[in-house]
Amino acid sequence: MPIKVPAGLPALHTVKNEGTVVEDLTTSTSSTLQIALLNIMPMKEATEVDFIRVLAASEQEVELTLMKLDTHTPKNASPEHMQRYYKGFGELRNRHFDGLIITGAPIEKLEFEEVTYWNELCEIMEWAKSNVTSTLFICWAAQAGLYHKFGIQKYLLKEKMFGVFPHRLHRKVPLFEGFGEVFYIPHSRHTELHCEDIVAEPRIELLSDSEQSGVYLVQERGTRNFFITGHSEYALCTLDEEYKRDLSKGLPIEPPTNYYKNNDTSLPPMDLWQEDARKLFNNWLRYYAKS
């Protein structure tokens, strides 16, 4: 379906050049879903591409607003890009959105209160209660949201959770319409949530996990809010790029699990998740963001 993004956004052209069929939406109507993306990932344009790709594959008509923090200046994005295509939280606080996506950030080894923009992020999470129909908290943002709302702690892993892992459902909800009993999700993180902490909190429900990668998807009961520890939105090449980046830095890193055929890093990655990623975001827009 058509998607509307800030005029001239390079990420839209990148998605089109990949071969993704994208129809430009020029005029929004009452049926257009208003989606905000709070992008706190360091590589802004790559993250824009990832989410435009999955949202543009939806059956729903979407207008995407790029949101930035007012109290944080990104180090890896040009000021011109942020000024031209993003709106600060202060500019958007009086608007209502059908959906909000809060991305992860590579700061998971920090205590939450040590994050320089923690107070503003907490303010946005509180604002979303009355100004957003459905919120997706992705990776570190899932941990941050569960900590802010319910006091759920994160735990440092001995080694990076890195690869594409099989997952199972605990309860079939519309978000997982069209999924099989087993499905694959990419993960790339240094911290985890403990399943026993999730199930002990009555205000939230564990919907999916993995024997290998642990807690995957949690829903806040009585709301349309989801906390997602993995990266369904990732492009096929993302883990490959992360692996080679860490190798070049001399960091201790193993090849991503279940990613290269026969675990041979000279072979192209296997696509085990992208079809389900499109289903996930389409289901979210259709059943949760849409009133």
Q: What is the CATH number of the domain that holds 34?
A: 3.40.50.880
Residue 128 domain flag: yes
Q: How far is CA 243 from CA 76, 140, 247, 253, 259, in A?
A: 19, 19, 6, 7, 11
CB contact at 8 A, 283 and 219: no
| Class of residue 246 by CB neighbours under 10 A (exposed 0-12, middle 13-18, buried 19+) | middle
Residue 197 domain flag: yes
- Residue from 39, 24, 121 nearest 74 by CA: 39
**Dist. CA 121–CA 45, nearest whole Å:** 21
- Which pLDDT band, with edges at 50, 70 and 90, does 258 fall under? very high
- Which pLDDT band, with edges at 50, 70 and 90, does 67 fall under? very high
Three-state DSSP at 205 gives strand
Residue 242 domain flag: no
How high is the mean pLDDT of the chain? 95
Q: Write down the pLDDT at residue 29.
A: 86
Report the relative pairing of strands 204-210 and 214-220 from DSSP bridges: antiparallel
CB contact at 8 A, 39 and 9: no
Residues catalogued as catalytic: 139, 231, 233
Q: Write down the pLDDT at residue 1.
A: 65
pLDDT in tens, 33-46: 999 999 999 999 99
Burial 124-161 (b: 16+ CB within 10 A, else e): bbeebeebbbbbbbbbbbbbbbbbbbbebebeeeeebb
CB contact at 8 A, 43 and 76: yes
Entry field: residues in the chain: 291
Percent of the residues in the chain that have a pLDDT greater than 90, as a whole number: 91
Largest Cα separation within the chain, whole Å, is: 52
**Dist. CA 72–CA 105, nearest whole Å:** 13
pLDDT in tens, 75-126: 889 999 999 999 999 999 999 999 999 999 999 999 999 999 999 999 999 9
Residue 183 domain flag: yes
Number of domains making up the chain: 1
Q: Write down the pLDDT at residue 26.
A: 80
Model confidence, pTM:
0.97
Strand ranges in the chain using DSSP code E only, listed in sequence order: 3-4, 33-38, 62-68, 86-88, 97-102, 132-138, 155-169, 182-192, 204-210, 214-220, 226-228
Residue 261 domain flag: no
Q: How far is CA 118 from the centre of its chain?
A: 18
pLDDT at residue 233 is higher than 80: yes
**Dist. CA 86–CA 66, nearest whole Å:** 5
| Class of residue 96 by CB neighbours under 10 A (exposed 0-12, middle 13-18, buried 19+) | exposed
pLDDT in tens, 156-192: 999 999 999 999 999 999 999 999 999 999 999 999 9
Residue 209 domain flag: yes
Residue 208 domain flag: yes
Q: Tell me the two tokens of residue 261.
A: 């055929």
Domain with 198, as residue range(s), is 3-236+272-289
Residue 99 domain flag: yes
- Residue from 46, 227, 22 nearest 142 by CA: 227
